[in-house]
Structure 1
Amino acid sequence: MRYRTVPIDGLDIFYREAGDPSAPTLVLLHGFPTSSVAYQELMATLSDEFHLIAPDYPGFGHSSAPDADAWEYTFDHLADLVDRLLDAIGVTRYAIYVHDYGAPVGFRLALRHPERVTGIVSQNGNAYEEGLTAFWEPFKTAWTDPSQANTDALLGYYTREATHWQYTHGVRDTTLVNPDKAALDQAVLDRPGSHAIQLALFLDYATNPPQYPRWQEYLRTHQPPLLAVWGRHDEIFGPDGALAFTRDAKNAHVQLLDAGHFALETRGAQIAALVRDFLRRLPD
């Protein structure tokens, strides 16, 4: 594993890299509130056969975190930075692994460069209205009316308790969940200015559901190989979001696991085996 930082548009963008660069590449795109550290173990497991790249978005992990009033925290902008990073390091053909926020970033990349994307692994990375659970109701209220009261209602999602819940809900045996990652995520969330950064992205998430039809059209038109490997007990993006992929991707394979939102934390070996088999079947 190598830990690298590249300057992109005046920001330092951190990424993890493992495996032989001449091997088929998988780009792993993380969700909230974590970073590329979510993929550390998966990358180590797959690095014997594949080339793996996992960036930290601005405001996350080890990448620069400019103030929210100085940098536009939108999903379009996150996709821009990842796109430029991949160009800067010469990665022009790759599969994507998307989780949570990684889905809107990854599908934006796929729309821009359908010829580059060899396949998609979605691990609780949503692209359908069916996947949006009741969890999103306070967010929808704030999207419609971003008043102080409605945005203040979202502050609870930055707490230690909320981060712990994201890792443990839907998990039958929580002793399997290593607390180190949640602690690291929380340390980043607690940095000065982080709440404003995350609120900007919470509000900009409103731009994603209206794009679902475009992402679905991309699947119908380009038919990328797709593996949806999903924690069936996820209360953020429900399993109906995984099953919906079969409507548009003819060869989609859906595997619902006995896990929650962070399925890698408790089903890492199973997911690694599924992803390895999937990547082996992709076109060169």
Structure 2
Amino acid sequence: MTSAVHHRTTTVDSLEVFYREAGDPAAPAVVLLHGFPTSSHMFRHLIPALADRYRVIAPDHIGFGQSAMPTPEDFPYTFDALTEITSGLLGRLGVDRFAMYVQDYGAPIGWRLALQHPERVTAIVTQNGNAYEEGFVKPFWDGVFAYAKSPGPDTDAPVRGALTPEITRWQYVNGVDDPSLVSPDNWVHDQALLDRPGNDEIQLRLFRDYPTNVDLYPRVHRYFRDSRVPLLAVWGANDEIFGPAGAEAFRQDLPNAEIHLIESGHFALESHLETITERIRDFFARVLT
């Protein structure tokens, strides 16, 4: 029997935060943290696939999905700020220990949560959620880092290109062995949210803040070494944003990391849901007690 998925909203620091939730509230918690340019919508199939054994919670970050979208003048769009909202949500929901699934932007948010309270993180699943410079694929990141270093007319155009329908679709189908498995609803849904008035400036603020995630990597690596947190990488091997070297790099600090490269791209859940679900369920069955 498929577990019912609830679609809820609560208030954190005076902001409405939307989240999807399923499973027994007394079961071990699993927090799913989405990336750019999507939302908890990316987990719509994974949530019920895990909720028979776990309490699964998937929030929309501020400025994404159904959560509040204050202007940049009213909210500091940084990864620190997004982390504080996520931490506040978990506090409101009474989640003090949790495993996490991180993808893209969800990774630096997850790493910050772990650095704040390493004892709370029971396990990590990373699906193209980067923590090493080896993971950055050129030329995709060249424009982002150039813009972050020197925002202006000369560097603005390439990053604005990342907000277009063509690139949103590309993120879903690039590297996928059978693109017909990927529903067009994904990029249509994401693009509609990106195209909201003022959302472009929100995304540009986060692009400018992205180097703070790289600056954090040495602390994240130390956390891995000190905690020996169980980690599973289920990684789209053909991703041209975060490449497979980023998955293999986890073994530098977590020698027992379990790494599986999948013949897919950036949003591997869309083409390989069953494969990834099986890997996660097997992993959690062994490491979550």
TM-score range, shorter chain: over 0.9
Hey, what does 1:238 align to over in structure 2?
243
Take 2:226 and 2:288, find their aligned partners in 1: how far apart are those partners? 17
Hey, what does 1:104 align to over in structure 2?
108
Q: How does 1:45-56 map to 2 (within 5 A)?
A: 45-56=49-60
1:266 paired with 2:276, answer no
Superposed displacement of residue 21, structure 1: 1.1
- Is the CA contact (8 Å cut-off) linking 2:101 and 2:125 kept in structure 1? yes
1:256 paired with 2:289, answer no
Superposed displacement of residue 283, structure 1: 3.8
Hey, what does 1:208 align to over in structure 2?
213
Hey, what does 2:233 align to over in structure 1?
228
Superposed displacement of residue 140, structure 1: 1.4
Hey, what does 1:124 align to over in structure 2?
128
Moved over 2 A (4+): none
Hey, what does 2:66 align to over in structure 1?
62
- Is the CA contact (8 Å cut-off) linking 2:34 and 2:103 kept in structure 1? yes
Take 1:171 and 1:152, find their aligned partners in 2: how far apart are those partners? 27
Superposed displacement of residue 96, structure 1: 0.6
1:158 paired with 2:160, answer no
Amino acid of the structure 1 residue aligned with 2:253: D
Hey, what does 1:21 align to over in structure 2?
25
Alignment TM-score, normalising by the size of structure 2:
0.97
| Percent of matched pairs sharing the same residue | 52
Take 2:175 and 2:15, find their aligned partners in 1: how far apart are those partners? 37
Hey, what does 1:33 align to over in structure 2?
37
Superposed displacement of residue 153, structure 1: 2.5
**For the aligned residues, what is the CA RMSD?**
0.8
1:106-129 CA-partner distances (Å, limit 9, x unpaired): 000000011100000000000000
Superposed displacement of residue 50, structure 1: 1.1
- Is the CA contact (8 Å cut-off) linking 2:149 and 2:208 kept in structure 1? no
> Can you give the 5+ residue segments of structure 1 that lack an aligned partner in the other structure?
none
Superposed displacement of residue 143, structure 1: 1.8
| Paired residues, number | 284
1:85-143 CA-partner distances (Å, limit 9, x unpaired): 00011011100100000000000000001110000000000000000110100111112
Hey, what does 1:171 align to over in structure 2?
176
